[in-house]
Amino acid sequence: MRIGHAKESYAADEALLDSPFQWTMLALMIAGLAALPLFGDPYWVYLVCLIAIHVIGATGLNILTGFTGLVSLGHAAFLGVGAYTVAVLEARIGTPFPVNLLAGGLAAAAVGLVVGLPSLRVKGLYLAIATIAASVILHFVFLHWASLTGGPAGLSLPPATLFGVALDTPFALYWLILPVAGVMVLGAANLFRTRVGRAFIAIRDRDISAELIGIPLLKTKLMSFGISSFYAGVAGGLWAYFFRVVTPESFPLIMSIFFLAAIIVGGLGSILGGVLGAVFMTLVPEALKLGVGLLSGVLPDAVAILAPVRTVVFGALIIGFLIFEPLGLAEIWRRFRRLQHLWPFRT
């Protein structure tokens, strides 16, 4: 049971981590993540990198959809803008990777601002369709602006280099991707302790009321689009360095749906939810594959027989979560923590 935990100031009340235990757990998690590439096998290093990229993308979409209430199905296209920007800068101009990543984020943010313009007039499903239209247009640009994007064959880019060391393996990129993901998630968590973040939430809860209390709707909605797309652009830039090939088919509509599913499963309007959702959506299919792999010792050709079953199980898990916990994994985590705080007493 948690006792002796009185807060004496507003700063303490607003703190992201409010107990020594939480700080210890965070330190342990960071130590664990730092040790993983040194002791874990390359498969796990690869997966954690992929999860971190998905976490950035999902956090970005959560800012827009979860916190501001603007549904977007164009998120994958924003990742594409970031990825192409990084690929062009790295392959054609050769600027250093921090500049490229930042440029990727800013380019995506600029495109996001334009795409966000209809959000003042339309919302809900209408906005979702408008963002799909934007993603179709961007896809067309990726495909047909061949002099810049390499057309249907796309662009291959050399690895990022840091002090002359090529970051060409998941092991090397791990030390780039994870810190960036950490900083971006921290940035998002802090955003909602500022006036801007609270304005986003006010718009989500009731945009007319938000306007009445003095929040400029267009500016704030566009800001949300811009920040969300910036996150997508950075995720796309890291994706480009990770896979080192960017083609128009790399960022399909289904990827936008993946991110939307991640934040719904994780918990809309919760930073932890975006993180947990991205982890769930990336890890569960792999875990199910591991299960199928284990069964292949017992059941001959388990891969062929159980692969479709795996897809059904994954779908059923998502539906199960939505039915039993519409508030997502973040709520399950919160409930677990409440239980922990009250143990051994229960309410």
Partner 1 sequence: MPTSRHHPGGSAGRAPAPVALVALALLVAGPARAADEIVLGASVPITGVFAFAGVGIHAGIGDYVGLVNQDGGIDGRPVRYVAEDTAYKVDASVAAFNRITSQYEVQLYYGDSTAFSKTMAPELARRGTILMGGDSFASELNDPERFPYHFLSGPDYTEMFGILLRYIADQSPGAKVAFVHSDTEFGRDPIARGTEIAEELGLSVPITIVTAPGSVDVTTEVLRLRRVRPDYTIFHGYVLAPIPEFITQARQMRLRTEFMGTFWSMDNAIVQTMGDAADGFLGVMPYRYYYDESADAPMLAKIREIRPEYQSTAYMQGFVTAMLMIEATRRALATGEPLTGASLKAGLNSIRDFDTGGLIGVPISITGNSVPVGRIYRADAQAGRMVPASDWIVLE
Residues near partner 1 (CB under 8 A): 41-43, 46-47, 50, 143, 151-154, 156, 159, 168-170, 243-245, 247-250, 285-286, 289, 291-294, 297, 301, 303-304, 307-308, 310-311, 320-321, 324-325, 332, 335-336, 347
User: In the complex with partner 1, which residue's Cβ is closer, 42 or 216?
Assistant: 42
User: In the complex with partner 1, which residue's Cβ is closer, 124 or 291?
Assistant: 291
Identify the DSSP state of 229.
H
Instruction: Kindly write down the DSSP assignment for every residue of 73-105, as one continuous string.
Output: S-HHHHHHHHHHHHHHIIIII---HHHHHHHHH
Per residue in 196-226, is it b (16+ CB within 10 Å) or e — as a string?
ebebbebbbeebeebeeeebeeeebbbbbbb
Shortest Cβ 307–partner 1 spacing (Å): 4
344 cis-preceded (ω within 30 degrees of 0): yes
CB distance 282 to 51 below 8 Å: yes
**Of 199, 11, 238, nearest in space to 105 by CA:** 238
User: In the complex with partner 1, which residue's Cβ is closer, 268 or 292?
Assistant: 292
User: In the complex with partner 1, which residue's Cβ is closer, 26 or 294?
Assistant: 294
Shortest Cβ 156–partner 1 spacing (Å): 6
CB distance 82 to 180 below 8 Å: no
User: In the complex with partner 1, which residue's Cβ is closer, 98 or 291?
Assistant: 291
Burial class (CB in 10 A: 0-12, 13-18, 19+), 239: buried
> Across 220-343, where does the E strand assignment appear?
245-246
Shortest Cβ 11–partner 1 spacing (Å): 32
Shortest Cβ 83–partner 1 spacing (Å): 12
User: In the complex with partner 1, which residue's Cβ is closer, 132 or 143?
Assistant: 143
Q: Please tell me the total number of residues recorded for the chain in this structure.
A: 347
Shortest Cβ 89–partner 1 spacing (Å): 19
Q: Helix axis angle, 253-266 relative to 125-144, nearest 10°?
A: 140
User: In the complex with partner 1, which residue's Cβ is closer, 123 or 169?
Assistant: 169
Shortest Cβ 293–partner 1 spacing (Å): 7
Instruction: Retrieve residue 166's tokens.
Output: 């090529």
Shortest Cβ 71–partner 1 spacing (Å): 24
